[in-house]
Amino acid sequence: MSNRGPIITLLAVAALAVVLLGFNMTETRQTVASPPADTQAAPDSAGQPPAAAQPPAVPPPAAASPPAAGQPPAAGQPPAVAEPPAAVQQTTYTGRTSGNEATIAIAVHNGRVAAYVCDGRRVEAWLQGTIVDGRLTVQGASDAEATGTVEGDAIFGTVSVNGKQWPYAAQLASPPAGLYQGNATVNGTSNRIGWIVLQDGTQVGIWDRDGIQKPAPRLDPGTLGGVTVGGAQIEPQRVVGNTVVVGQPPA
C-alpha cells in the first residue's frame, strides 16, 4: 500500500496535463479561425450592412452659348438668320381739286415725292419734295407748290399753280392708275408729256412742245408702248417718288 501513493499522484498529474493540453489546443483553433477585429465591417446603427459605394455625380453639360458677332457658329450649331431688309414703301395717290379745276398725282418712294398737276389743256406743274411724319411738301418752277397731310389712304391739302390756289384730295391708287411722263427731242424741238391716269381709267395730260401746251395723246398704261408725236416716238415711263421731274431736260 505504501507504493500506490506515488503512482496515484503521478496518474493524477498526467491526467491534469492532458486536460490542460486539450484546452490550449481548442483556444488556438478559435484564435486562428476568427479574423482580426479591425478587418470586419461594422454594421450601421440599424444593424444593416453598409450600402455599396455610389459613383460620383456627373454635372450636366453646359448650355451652348451663341457665337460672338463676326465669328462662325460652333460645329453642330445652326447659322444665324439675318433679318430681311425692310420693304420699299412705294405708293401713288391720284385725285382732283375741290372745284375740278385740275387733276393731281403724287408718287411716293421711301419718303421722296414726285408730283404733277394739270388741267389737260394749258395749266400744268411738275413738283418735287418729301413726306415727313405724314406732312407733304413739294415745289416746282414759277412758285408752284403743294402741301398736304396723309390721312389713312388719302392726302388732303392745297396746290398752287400760276398764282392760283385750290384745295385737293388724292386717294391711294393701284396700277395701272398713276403718274407717267415721256421726253424726246424731235427735229431739234423739245417734247415733254405728262399723264395722270385715275383709278377709273380716266386720263388727263399735257403735251408741252417747246413751250406750247396741248392735250396729251392717248397712253396705253398697260403696255407703255411708244407714243408718236411730230413723226417720232416717245417712250413713256412710270414716275415714282424718286424720279427726277423738276427741271429734267428732254431725252
Task: Give the total number of structural domains in the chain.
Answer: 1
Domain membership of residue 95 (yes or no) is yes
Domain membership of residue 81 (yes or no) is no
Q: For 189-232, what is each residue's pLDDT tens digit?
A: 899 999 999 999 999 999 999 999 999 999 999 888 889 887 77
**To the nearest whole percent, how much of the chain has pLDDT over 70?**
63
d(CA 11, CA 21): 15
Query: Cell 395730260 belongs to which residue?
Result: 205
Range of the domain at 163: 90-238
d(CA 110, CA 130): 9
| Pairwise pLDDT comparison (231 vs 7), residue with the higher score | 231
Domain membership of residue 233 (yes or no) is yes
pLDDT exceeds 60 at position 122:
yes
Please give the C-alpha separations between residue 18 and each of 11, 26, 31, in angstroms, as whole numbers.
11, 13, 20
Residues 6+ apart with CB under 8 A from 139: 127, 128, 129, 145, 246
Handedness of CA 114, 247, 250, 187 (dihedral sign): positive
What is the arithmetic mean of pLDDT over 142-170? 97
Q: pLDDT tier at 28 (50, 70, 90 boundaries)?
A: very low
Domain membership of residue 163 (yes or no) is yes
pLDDT exceeds 70 at position 24:
no
* pTM over the 0.75 mark: no
C-alpha cell read off for 115: 408730283
